[in-house]
Structure 1
């Protein structure tokens, strides 16, 4: 649906109550057997689709998705409303009614509906990227300028390292690149931006929501974890407009983690 917005982001402070975020933080850190880290999760843990694929744990992701979804709905019941609200915000930001499209989870038997991204070790990589990994099911879509895909992130715990060179905060470039055009964004080294003129600096206060076009280059700034206060948690969901799928043969916004 071309009416859906592109090359833009939505930022909403205090989208979640900081007190709720603190309760979630404690519950998450109390269950290391459930919640996997963003990088190098372990078999059977709850982690993002891209993280599990990159770690060679796709079988684990698919096998436990249904179980993990039930756990999320039981222990973090607010997520259901959060997903609906974010879906409505995407539509409204596009000038559409909040119910213009049905919001449909990607097959809940095999895909997580949402999840918590944990960074509990030092993050040294300055990795400017776009979020196309979740579109592996639709390879042609990452090359199609008409694809509408969105990333949403809610800060649950901000690393104390934000005081040191904005560690753990987010930079987003106000530019849009399909996968085949992304080389034009980078310098010859393949990792640095040619220009920072379009860069938007976003701080990650607890409870803040950021929604952005997944084809916009972005980076989480590196930080060190020297003590517990340096750890970082975010609640993440991805959205994608589909005209139809085999499971859902009608126009909709699908979501997953």
Structure 2
């Protein structure tokens, strides 16, 4: 099982999350590429430290929305979105190469991640960006999304993702952050859910029903309160349950 986290999400003198501590716990780092968060100095530092620890570097691409942290939908023309995604992957690739590594996968962020669950045109635009840049790059996303369906049809390697610290609807989508209970905070409960996910067993959705996810990667959000303790508990509990942790991207 892969354990990933969103990292490099500060900007200038403003910091968010403990990148160094999380890099000691995760196997893949979704690094912000400067559009929803991050800047060149942060990108370079996170790539260097990920490379030192053997953590796979992924491009976390999003809308150009620093003020809204990429969590606001933007009705972009598909060609413009494709160009923005290529730009972000290329920017991170430069810092990954300087660090002795490379970008190994692509994961959309925030509002873009959620939009391309159903938005066919934007999903196709992001797929086209990855195909044009490097069709060998795996893509990470929500099972059942238009994004992963179109990526698979284009011949890309798709990886199903689940979220350790988020509540799910009965349909398998994420509960909106605007609603109470959307973000989970109890490390023990979160760790138990992750063991169930890794074993292909059901978890409880927000309405109390059973939902089976079968992910190839589990995400702990770097900006969730207590993220380091959550990631540590998840890693320890998965390992104790006999689940080997390793990056999904070679």
| Structure in which a larger fraction of residues adopt strand | 1
**Bigger relative CO (Cα 8 Å, ≥ 6 apart):** 1
| Structure in which a larger fraction of residues adopt helix | 2
Shared fold per TM-score greater than 0.5: no
When the two structures are superposed, what TM-score results if normalisation uses the length of structure 2? Answer: 0.30
When the two structures are superposed, what TM-score results if normalisation uses the length of structure 1? Answer: 0.30
